[in-house]
């Protein structure tokens, strides 16, 4: 399984592309059930998924974060037509954190000789269909409480866990982003950059039908901002969205500015960038960040 870790991480982007587009089509055709209260959300999701799709999931609301745990088997399978992509950069470190009221970004990203790589795995279509059902139900429930915005969860954490092979694909989304992509205020490509995907490999996932191994917590906007910045940096350089000769510091600044301004985030004094390859450090105060255009 360790050997597969990089391939699993590369798989996430393509997998969610297929999954969420399908989900939007299915979800738009779904009827909206009567409004649920905040206290009914988890039970409603579990009951609807069970009654309509014969699937068992675990939903848990922690503060303003709704967690949904989806236990499956054989989450991915070997692809008969591996997807080709070009490797141009090595990401050896990609760290974001808040220290007091400073947002600190430390990164070790190096250009490497271009090399053709292949994604050897694909999402199991049967599991894809199951996860699609959960997305459809989630949208039905949360959209039905739209008029009760004060009670609506702010973050959704979907965990699709392969309890046979011991790994999981995690996706963290913000409620306004989900609504915006559903009503086409933002593109799916932009939503994919805003929705944070990651892979976790751990022995305790094996056989865990209840999600007992998870560390359930309430996600804050600060948590989401730092995770999205790391996610956007990974997308920018892993399956590269930029040329090999690009100014890496400038690209990191673009990511930070875009993310901060997208969510109207002002609860910080400065952004500090630390390029661990060149030892170059850049500090932008809040006014400088907000003065920059979104690119």
Instruction: Report if residue 181 sits inside a domain.
Output: yes
Shared domain for 209 and 242, answered yes or no, is no
pLDDT by residue for the chain (295 residues), tens only, comes to: 333 444 455 555 444 443 444 444 344 434 444 577 888 899 999 999 999 999 999 999 999 999 999 999 999 999 888 888 899 999 999 999 999 899 999 999 999 999 999 888 888 999 999 999 999 999 888 888 755 556 679 999 999 999 999 999 999 999 999 989 988 999 999 999 999 999 999 999 999 999 999 999 999 999 999 999 999 999 999 988 999 999 999 999 999 999 999 999 999 999 999 999 999 999 999 999 999 999 8
**DSSP secondary structure letters along 102-134:** EEEEEEEEEEEEEEEEEEEEEE-HHHHHHHHHH
CA distance from start to end of the chain: 38
Residues 47 and 145 in one domain: yes
pLDDT at position 11 is: 54
80 within a domain of the structure (yes/no): no
Rounded to 10 degrees, the C-alpha dihedral 130/18/79/91 comes to -110
pTM: 0.87
> Do 104 and 155 belong together in one domain?
no
Please indicate, yes or no, whether residues 24 and 49 belong to a single structural domain of this protein.
yes
What lies within 8 Å, CB to CB, of 80 at 6+ separation is none
Indicate the residue among 215, 235, 254 that finishes a domain. Answer: 215
How is residue 103 written in tokens?
A: 């947002």
| Residue with tokens 């949208």, as numbered in its chain | 139
Phi/psi for 110 (5° steps) reads -125, 140
Residues 143 and 285 both lie in one domain:
no
Structural domain includes residue 16: yes
144 and 39 assigned to the same domain: yes
Q: Is residue 51 part of a domain?
A: yes
Query: Which strand (E) or helix (H) includes residue 271?
Result: strand 270-275
The answer to whether 216 and 170 are in contact (CB under 8 A) is: no
Q: Is residue 206 part of a domain?
A: yes
In a domain, 220, yes or no: no
The predicted pLDDT at position 147 comes to 56
Structure confidence at residue 259 (pLDDT): 98
The reply to whether 52 and 137 lie within a common domain is: yes
Residue 175 sits in the same domain as residue 282: no
Same domain? 37 vs 160: yes
DSSP 32: P
Predicted pLDDT at 17: 46
Same domain, residue pair 263 and 189: no
Residues linked to residue 115 through DSSP beta bridges, in sequence order:
87
Give residue 37's pLDDT.
Answer: 80
Nearest to 229 by CA among 89, 112, 87, 103: 103
Residue among 91, 120, 152, 99 nearest 277 (CA): 91
d(CA 15, CA 184): 20
pLDDT given for residue 39 in this prediction:
83
132 beta partners: none
For residues 31 and 28, give the distance between their C-alpha atoms in angstroms, rounded to a whole number: 8
DSSP strand E in 176-261: where?
A: 196-201
Q: Among 191, 215, 239, give the residue marking a domain's end.
A: 215
Name the residue range of residue 186's domain. 2-75+124-215
Q: Are residues 161 and 17 in the same domain?
A: yes
Region class of 264: left (phi > 0), else alpha (psi between -120 and 50), else beta: left
Position 22 in a domain:
yes
* 208 and 264 housed in the same domain: no
Residue 167 resides in a domain: yes
- Looking at the 3D structure of the chain, how many domains does it have? 2
Q: Which of 215, 235, 252 is the last residue of a domain?
A: 215
């Amino acid at each position: 399984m360790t050997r597969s870790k990089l391939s699993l991480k590369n798989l996430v982007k393509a997998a969610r592309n297929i999954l969420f587009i399908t989900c939007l089509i299915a979800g738009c055709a779904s009827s909206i059930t009567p409004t649920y209260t905040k206290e009914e959300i988890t039970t409603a999701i579990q009951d609807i998924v069970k009654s309509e799709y014969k699937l068992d999931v675990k939903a848990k609301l922690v503060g303003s974060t709704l967690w949904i745990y989806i236990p499956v088997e054989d989450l991915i399978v070997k692809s008969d037509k591996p997807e080709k992509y070009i490797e141009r950069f090595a990401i050896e470190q990609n760290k974001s954190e808040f220290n007091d009221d400073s947002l600190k970004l430390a990164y070790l990203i190096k250009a490497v000789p271009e090399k053709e790589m292949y994604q050897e795995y694909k999402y199991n279509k049967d599991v894809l269909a199951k996860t699609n059902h959960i997305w459809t139900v989630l949208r039905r429930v949360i959209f039905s409480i739209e008029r009760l915005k004060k009670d609506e969860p702010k973050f959704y954490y979907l965990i699709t866990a392969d309890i046979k092979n011991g790994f999981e694909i995690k996706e963290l989304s913000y409620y306004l982003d989900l609504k915006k992509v559903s009503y086409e205020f933002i593109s799916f490509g932009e939503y994919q950059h805003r929705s944070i995907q990651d892979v976790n490999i751990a022995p305790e996932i094996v056989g865990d039908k209840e999600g007992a191994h998870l560390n359930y917590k309430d996600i804050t906007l600060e948590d989401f901002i730092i995770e999205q910045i790391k996610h956007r940096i990974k997308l920018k350089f892993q399956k590269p969205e930029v040329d090999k000769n690009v100014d890496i510091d400038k690209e990191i600044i673009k990511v930070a500015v875009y993310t901060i301004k997208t969510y109207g985030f002002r609860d910080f004094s400065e952004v500090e960038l630390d390029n661990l390859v060149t030892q170059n450090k850049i500090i932008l105060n809040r006014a400088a960040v907000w003065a920059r255009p979104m690119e």
